[in-house]
Amino acid sequence: YFKDLGVEFVEGKKSDEWGFWEFLSWENADKYHADLIMLDNRSASMSREELAQKPTFASLPAVKAGQITPWAMEERYSYAGYGPVLERLADAINRSKRLTS
């Protein structure tokens, strides 16, 4: 849906045949450029403050611009469940400015 509206998502390479994402070390956190960072909001994940201590995270253009939004990683089982999540994402996208070409 968002791609149809012109939103470009960074899609890294899968780390293995079962994975959905690419694993990167902190030294490679700047491998992909992003205008908005969706930050896992689960309690076991690193907080924004903890991430700010990582020099590569702190140097990302989206971080410098304050373009970070919480992302609810928990599965939703209905349209009603996903509605608020997608509305928050749409709001974050609308508030963000293009930082990369």
Q: What is the CATH number of the domain that holds 23?
A: 3.40.50.1980
Residue 63: its pLDDT value, please?
93
* Residue 36 binned pLDDT confidence (cut-offs 50, 70, 90): very high
Output 27 or 93, whichever has higher pLDDT: 93
Region 68-73: mean pLDDT is: 88
Is 54 within the bounds of a domain?
yes
Is 100 within the bounds of a domain?
no
Q: How many CA atoms lie within 13 A of 42 on its CB side?
A: 6
Question: How many folded domains does the chain comprise?
Answer: 1
Q: How many CB atoms lie under 10 A from the CB of residue 75?
A: 7
State percent of the chain over pLDDT 90: 28
State percent of the chain over pLDDT 70: 98
Cβ-contact 96, 36 below 8 angstroms: yes
Is 15 within the bounds of a domain?
yes
Region 3-19: mean pLDDT is: 76
> What is the C-alpha separation between 101 and 99, in angstroms, rounded?
7
Mean pLDDT of the chain: 85
* Residue 101 binned pLDDT confidence (cut-offs 50, 70, 90): low
Computed on alpha carbons and rounded to an integer, the radius of gyration of the chain in Å comes to 14
Domain that holds residue 87: 3-95
